Amino acid sequence: MIGSPQAVSLMQRWLEAAHVAGMSEKTIEAYQRDVFGFLGFLTSYHGGDVGLRTLANLNVTDMRAWMAHERGRGLSARSLARALSAVKGFYGWLHEAEGVDNPSVLSMRSPKIKPRLPRPVEVADTRELISMVDIQHKEAWVGARDKAVLLLLYGCGMRISEALGLNCGQAPLPEVLRIVGKGKKERILPVLPVAREAVDAYLKTCPYDLPIDGPLFIGMRGKRLGARAVQKLMEALRRQLGLPSTATPHALRHSFATHLLEAGGDLRTIQELLGHASLSSTQVYTNLDQTRLMEVYEQSHPAAKSRR
């Protein structure tokens, strides 16, 4: 048994509150796994049921023991940071709902995480990739559909869930599109003419009668197109073009941001277009740009060449 019935009941109430607060289902599922694991550790560590009193009296030593246990079973620093965030969220709710005030938990520092630089697809490779999309399937409408999806990812910086979540009633796409993204946050996206034209071309060739309140992009059976179909498409394209495994649908979103930055786009605007909650999430593209700048320097500058 994981914790006491009281602890499990508290966790379920917290998850219900998180659902009402607008967290995505995937985030709630991840938080549930993390806090279940936390309660399971405490049950073993303290040798008994974990109730409200135990949760209220946890100290720094307890928290460090849990974190050491998680690292010992192979959890990465990034995953542990997410788990700690879930536990802190749980305790934040405990404070509001039950009056539990435990600074030992809330003050714990997350493990240091080395930022992962996104790996964009080069401009020339992106162009070639998109030019080959509509010949990947014998059904012309499927090729037109796939091309429209990839152009929305690269041309607008959409997440794959955002592109596939569009409904037919939103077409023809306007020059400026309002979408609801991660965390149910709205943002405004300019839609390039080439992307709007690609969507129009897809709709003209689509053999299905699409209802206004139904999905814009559908699969062969007429249901909303799934992310896996787009991932498989990218797998086929990167094999044909000799691109690395990092050339995924999400990489096209990274490419959108990186190529804008390289062309002189400002970071704040790119943040708005990507829908990042904080500028720090977008600043990783600055680091990427600096890394690529140094690569170009090392390859081409006479002073760098002379050191070889």
Query: Where in the sequence numbering do the catalytic residues fall?
Result: 159, 182, 250, 253, 276, 285
Closest alpha carbon to 60 in 107, 101, 100, 96: 107
Three-state DSSP at 34 gives helix
Closest alpha carbon to 227 in 242, 248, 255: 248
Q: What angle do CA 185, 259, 149 make, to 5 degrees?
A: 55
* Cα within 13 Å of Cα(152), Cβ side: 30
Give dist(CA 273, CA 268) in Å, integer.
9
Pairing of strands 186-190, 176-180: antiparallel
Three-state DSSP at 201 gives helix
Rg of the Cα trace of the chain?
24
Q: At what angle do helices 60-72 and 77-98 cross, to 10 degrees?
A: 140
